[in-house]
Amino acid sequence: MPDIDCLFHRYMRTAVLVLMFLHALPGAAQPAPVQGASVPTMEVPSFVSLVRQHGGAVVNISSTRTMPDQAAALPFAEDDPLYEFFRRFLPPPTEGEHQEFGLGSGFIIDQDGHILTNAHVVSNADEVTVKLTDKREFRAKVLGSDPYTDIALIKIEAAGLPQVKVGAAGSVQPGEWVAAIGAPFGFENSVTAGIVSAKGRLLPNESYVPFIQTDVAVNPGNSGGPLFNMRGEVIGINSIIYSRTGGFMGLSFAIPIDIAMDIASQLRATGKVTRSRIGVQAQELTRELAASFGLKEPRGALVAMVEKGGPADKAGIQAGDVVLSLNGQPIQSSADLARIIAGLKPGTTVSADVWRKGKVVAFKVTTEELPDPAAATPGADASAKAAGKAGLVVSELPDEQRQTLKLDQGVLVHRTEGPAMRAGIQPGDIILKLNDEPVKSVRQLDALLAKNVGKTVALLIRRGGETVFVPLRLDG
């Protein structure tokens, strides 16, 4: 009996040959061409000339910082009976310091040796070393850094340096090819490429930067490196990846170069960045929230909290107001509000159109300076230095928030860095206690922190609907 598979393949081969013969006969019907149609072609671009011309201006950055050894901490005061019981099961606390090493990237923006990178690459560094593509190494000086945008400006003393060509981030379009050069995991001058996935992307806790999203492979070590367009212009600084593993997963974000260059000019001139604030916390408007406030579309910044005694409070703005525009400039989201206000000079008076109870009301608000993250915020005592050294930027808990949460104690965390950031404390946390001592004011918190310098304290934190203890090591 013949094999069925063999017969089937023989039949199919014969059928194909017959069709080819009929198609080749004179007068055989041919498919009519589509009017005006052309076959699309796509060529993968070459990045060879881009790397050859501009790769020399990309540098590798290594940093060292001295960090205190972390001691095990208990969420109990030393006079608590449970403290002694649990202490027996923990290793003895260690005292001392150790060296931490960091790697990142950067790029030279002028022949004087000024280099842009990420603030987190050189943050709290004792020593910063820059290595060029020709293997020369230089000790770099940190001229200034801005944690709000994660931009830092450093400088090396060298002559005849190559420099990048700065482009315009505003001209970037989703879908266009881009390339990154950096040192992922320490592999120097690595080139990766991809496309722009989106622009103006807003990320949680990053209100001051409308990021460029790409699918360019970016990994630890790429931070601070340039993002090039196909014309060889830098359009962004690679800064953040979204990952569940710590490695690249197709989502990378770059700081637009125009924002970075503005920050760099301020850091070069004064060593710091000056911004404004009006003392509000704002949130996004959903369609449901917009409808509840009588708005036809979810546009604007919903004021969730107004700082007592702050500029917005003095102007008459209230929680529940929706800011629609500033000086005639439309506000589409809460991030727009933060970014526009931050870009103003402190002391500037702006006109704010606010939606309240079904109608638009105009207010005049005079901005004030946004404090340095390491300093006490408005509402805190100016001499509160311990909180700053602990990496805490805090203020008194607003009355509205205190009443809503039914709290008779606590201070509000605005920003963290250094020890507080390493401990896992987050903006928006409310510090309720320190070592079982209720915290009722910024001044009291500062006094408690100062009294425990060199020790590890247990902070009771209110975060959302949860209350947790967080151990915080206070450096001497």
**Catalytic residue list:** 120, 150, 223
The answer to whether residues 238 and 252 touch, using CB atoms and an 8 Å cutoff, is yes
The answer to whether residues 227 and 252 touch, using CB atoms and an 8 Å cutoff, is no
Q: Which residues on neighbouring strands pair with residue 165, listed in sequence order? A: 233
Give the contacts of 170 (CB within 8 A, at least 6 positions apart). 256, 258
Give the contacts of 24 (CB within 8 A, at least 6 positions apart). none
CA contacts within 13 A on the Cβ side of 433: 12
SS3 assignment, position 410:
coil
Q: Which residue is listed with tokens 């509840």? A: 292
DSSP state of 371: P
Output the six-digit token pair for 450: 């100062």
Give the contacts of 66 (CB within 8 A, at least 6 positions apart). 97, 98, 99, 100, 126
Q: Residue 389 is which amino acid?
A: K
The answer to whether residues 167 and 257 touch, using CB atoms and an 8 Å cutoff, is yes
Of 389, 387, 369, the C-alpha closest to 378 is 369
SS3 assignment, position 6:
helix
120-143 as b/e: b if 16+ CB within 10 A: bbbbbbeebbbbbeeeeebebebb
Of 256, 257, 73, 81, the C-alpha closest to 165 is 257
| Rg for the chain, CA atoms, rounded | 29
Give the contacts of 75 (CB within 8 A, at least 6 positions apart). 458, 460, 469, 471
Q: Which residue is listed with tokens 């003392």? A: 279
Distance CA 287, CA 168 (A): 34
DSSP state of 476: -
Q: Which residues on neighbouring strands pair with residue 431, listed in sequence order? A: 411, 461
DSSP state of 250: S
**φ, ψ dihedrals at 383, nearest 5°:** -90, 5
